[in-house]
Amino acid sequence: MSDREFKRLRDLIYDKCGINLQPVKKTMLTMRLLKRLRALGMASFSEYFDYLCHAQGNWEELVQMLDVVTTNKTEFFRESIHFDFLLNEALPTLVQAGKIGPKKRLEVWSAGCSTGQEPYTLAMVLSNYFEQHRVGTFSILATDISTRVLAIAQKGIYPEREADPVPLSLKRKYLMRGKGVNTGYCRVAPEVRRSIRFQRHNLVDCRTFGIRTSMDIIFCRNVVIYFDRPTQISLFDKFYGQLTPGGYLFVGHSENLHGINNRFVPVSPAVYRRLE
């Protein structure tokens, strides 16, 4: 891949999904896109770029390209302190404020959900809490730009070793162990899977998210580190508009809103609350 080809593809990726690839990522991009060139029988990255930008449009290939270049690292109970805060602080506060109850469903969004471990963790934690406290119902929207990882997430099937971080009580309650040819795997229980709606979503595609439901809790962790500062500012402005007053925003521990958005109040490490 020449420097010119890298710049053209990098600019296209930035335009389509906001990911800002630095020059040091040239080798990574080369290796990942070579798979697409081979699959399409193309001889050069310039030919591939022209194919992506064809006048008739190649939306399916754009989706394939973004699937290839995006990084999808996740695990059950990743940054577990967030789920402790959710249980011990956020949920009781929302119940007390009347934002959870018999007539008010809790709305949660897992943005950048990857292969599904984060929304399934949320669903297990919330299912257990709502059952114990009898406080109402909840719904989780789980989105990602990658159709490949969403297909994995929707199945809810994982190697048993990946479920090691799940507390034993929740594991027994919400994970089913495979038998026969499925030995060594576990599947998330149907009642947990039913509480999650998976869909493809591009966080930077439009001026607004295009999601009609206002959210009480948003998890967007270890996603914005791939964006430049203007994109981050725009993204957190949209998160602010999507959250209900008093709602919570969880970001990655390497991320913060300092100098990006001052309308959120920090309430715990990497946890913010929208001002009432």
DSSP codes joined into one string, 105-118: -EEEEEET-TTTHH
Helix (H) or strand (E) holding 124: helix 117-133
| 197 a catalytic residue | no
Instruction: Please say whether the beta carbons of 29 and 1 come within 8 A.
Output: yes
Determine the angle formed by the axes of helices 26-40 and 59-69, rounding to 10 degrees: 140
DSSP codes joined into one string, 78-89: TTTHHHHHIIII
Close Cβ partners of 148 (under 8 Å, ≥ 6 residues apart): 67
Catalytic residue from among 10, 36, 144, 273: 144
Catalytic residue from among 32, 105, 148, 187: 32
Distances (CA, A) of 194 to 104, 122, 185, 260: 19, 13, 20, 36
| 32 a catalytic residue | yes
Comparing CA positions, the residue from 267, 248, 242 lying closest to residue 97 is: 248
Which two structure tokens, joined as six digits, stand for 216? Answer: 């009480």
Length of the chain: 276
Catalytically annotated residues? 32, 144
